[in-house]
């Protein structure tokens, strides 16, 4: 699977800017892949890209229409179908991050068949995977893990990719969720893989590589989240990480979606993920803590938190947005 760029970003009739969160992530990390945006009537989101019709986009060299917008219920808006079919007839592929499959809408599937277009429902893996083996393979790998879901694991992996690339270090971001897949053009939605194959799918995603090459694997969930820890465990074992970064959001009152579930203590969270990682890579170690401090208004409190974590665990503790990833990249250069 390789989604071709450049992209035309389809925003449909997005109710608000939040509904276009996936599209915004793509524009943030791959601005040069995003040539324009296409909005229908009553669209309340705006990516700040040039407005383009399908025909203009095709003429400008766009290869894929990207549906990076959430609709109520994750379904495909009926009003979207005509535009999607137009894009296919103009020679574009279509990639969607929605739960509902565009490939199951008859008009879209028929148009794709007739025009030889590819349809990518990136939440739904179509390939089959082998069972994971845990056998050591060459190449270096980093995995972002977290105290909870939605604490910045994708952002962290992408920010490290950006920093290493700027230093001339050979690396790839490896996507494990729908937004990441649209950002990298490939990947596997591991939470949609049959559970026997979680670690195997991750081994496929981050395969043997040159000894100095870094794969920067997007994490999912947390070993301490009762809903998703199985996914996380398979990711940890399959990615066989040399380096781990713990991602954290310090203002959260409880685990995401579970008011009865406390956040793990940071030390226990480091220990738990490290012990799991060492099953398939005895040399695994943490190289930093990435804290999303955007919810903290007080700069002194923010600095105290990061300084405290850094002192306590002898690791760089940074806010990836404010501080960047230089301190963590320095550690990676020592591995």
- Provide the binding-site residues for its own copies, judged by CB under 8 A: 131-136, 190-196, 198-200, 223-224, 226-235, 237-238, 257-258, 260-261, 272, 275-276, 279-280
> Between residues 9 and 223, which has the closer beta carbon with respect to its own copies?
223
Q: How far is the CB of 191 from its own copies (least distance, A)?
A: 4
The gap between the terminal CA atoms of the chain, to the nearest Å, is 31
> Between residues 20 and 193, which has the closer beta carbon with respect to its own copies?
193
Burial class (CB in 10 A: 0-12, 13-18, 19+), 273: buried
Q: How far is the CB of 22 from its own copies (least distance, A)?
A: 18
Q: Which residue do the tokens 């060299």 mark? A: 61
* Cα separations in angstroms, 53 against 8, 38, 57, 84, 86: 9, 6, 6, 11, 10
Q: Which residue do the tokens 């990480």 mark? A: 241
Given a contact cutoff of 8 angstroms between Cβ atoms, the answer to whether 108 and 84 are in contact is yes
Determine the Cα–Cα distance for residues 26 and 333; give it in Å rounded to an integer.
28
Determine the Cα–Cα distance for residues 157 and 332; give it in Å rounded to an integer.
13
> Between residues 279 and 321, which has the closer beta carbon with respect to its own copies?
279
> Between residues 163 and 199, which has the closer beta carbon with respect to its own copies?
199
Q: What is the DSSP string of 292-323?
A: --TT---HHHHHHHHHHHHHHHTS-EE-HHHH
> Between residues 257 and 307, which has the closer beta carbon with respect to its own copies?
257
* Cα separations in angstroms, 131 against 140, 198, 200: 21, 8, 5
Given a contact cutoff of 8 angstroms between Cβ atoms, the answer to whether 242 and 297 are in contact is no
> Between residues 160 and 235, which has the closer beta carbon with respect to its own copies?
235
> Between residues 55 and 133, which has the closer beta carbon with respect to its own copies?
133
């Amino acid at each position: 699977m390789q989604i071709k760029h450049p992209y035309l970003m389809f925003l449909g009739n997005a109710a608000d800017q939040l509904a276009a969160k996936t599209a915004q992530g793509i524009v943030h990390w791959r601005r040069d892949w995003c040539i324009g945006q296409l909005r229908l009537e009553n669209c309340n989101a705006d990516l700040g890209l040039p407005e383009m019709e399908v025909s203009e986009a095709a003429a400008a060299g766009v290869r894929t229409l990207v549906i990076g917008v959430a609709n109520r219920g994750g379904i495909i808006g009926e009003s979207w179908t005509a535009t999607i079919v137009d894009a296919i007839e103009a020679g574009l592929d279509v990639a969607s991050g929605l739960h509902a499959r565009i490939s199951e809408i008859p008009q879209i599937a028929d148009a794709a068949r007739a025009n030889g277009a590819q349809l990518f429902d990136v939440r739904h893996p179509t390939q089959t995977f082998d069972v994971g083996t845990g056998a050591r393979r060459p190449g270096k790998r980093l995995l972002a893990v977290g105290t909870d879901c939605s604490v910045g694991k994708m952002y962290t992996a992408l920010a490290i990719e950006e920093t290493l690339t700027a230093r001339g270090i050979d690396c790839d971001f490896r996507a494990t969720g729908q937004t990441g897949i649209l950002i990298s053009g490939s990947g596997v939605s591991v939470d949609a893989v049959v559970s026997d194959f979680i670690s195997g799918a991750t081994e496929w995603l981050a395969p043997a590589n040159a000894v100095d090459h870094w794969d920067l694997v997007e994490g999912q969930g947390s070993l301490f989240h009762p809903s998703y820890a199985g996914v996380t465990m398979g990711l940890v074992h399959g990615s066989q990480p040399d380096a781990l970064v713990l991602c954290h959001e310090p203002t959260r009152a409880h685990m995401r979606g579970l008011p009865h579930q406390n956040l793990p203590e940071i030390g226990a969270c480091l220990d738990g993920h490290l012990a799991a990682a060492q099953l398939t890579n005895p040399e695994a170690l943490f190289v930093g803590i990435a804290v999303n401090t955007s919810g903290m208004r007080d700069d002194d409190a923010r600095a105290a938190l990061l300084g405290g974590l850094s002192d306590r665990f002898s690791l760089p503790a940074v806010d990836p947005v404010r501080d960047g990833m230089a301190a963590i990249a320095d550690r990676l250069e020592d591995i």
